[in-house]
């Protein structure tokens, strides 16, 4: 079913916990997915990879990321790009983190989670 025009807010999006203390709130179009990610303090996204290209923006807090073996602490305004197939992980700082991820193509696993 094609996407329809939508105006909403992050607070109105449905959320699901995908790891302990990590909640996602996706906004899905026909070809692109925005994903608002809320991480409680010290929450961990385990090392993983997927075929989707992923771009991200740190909105609040700190997120220590490992991307392809490189580790950095990211703060509000910092961005990242993860090509498909690259292993990556994240750990929120003491105050937690809010992150906006963009995926292409759509994350099928997330679509199933919200079906």
What is the mean pLDDT of the segment spanning 31-35?
96
Q: Which fold has domain 15-113?
A: Jelly Rolls (2.60.120)
Distance CA 106, CA 93 (A): 28
62: pLDDT strictly greater than 70? yes
The percent of residues above 90 in pLDDT, for the chain, comes to 94
Under 8 Å between Cβ of 53 and 83: yes
Under 8 Å between Cβ of 73 and 67: no
Report if pTM > 0.75. Answer: yes
pLDDT-derived band of residue 1, with 50, 70 and 90 as boundaries?
low
100: Cβ–Cβ under 8 A, 6 or more apart, which residues? 34, 35, 36, 37, 56, 57, 59
Distance CA 10, CA 103 (A): 17
33: pLDDT strictly greater than 90? yes
């Amino acid at each position: 079913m094609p996407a329809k025009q939508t105006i909403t807010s992050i607070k109105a999006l449905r959320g699901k916990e995908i790891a302990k203390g990590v909640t996602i709130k996706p906004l899905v179009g026909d070809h692109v997915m925005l994903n608002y990610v809320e991480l409680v303090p010290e929450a961990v996204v385990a090392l993983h990879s997927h075929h989707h290209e992923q771009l991200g923006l740190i909105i609040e807090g700190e997120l220590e990321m490992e991307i392809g073996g490189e580790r950095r602490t990211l703060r509000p305004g910092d961005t990242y790009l993860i090509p498909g197939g690259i292993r990556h992980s994240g750990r929120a700082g003491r105050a937690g983190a809010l992150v906006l991820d963009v995926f292409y193509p759509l994350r099928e696993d997330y679509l199933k989670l919200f079906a």
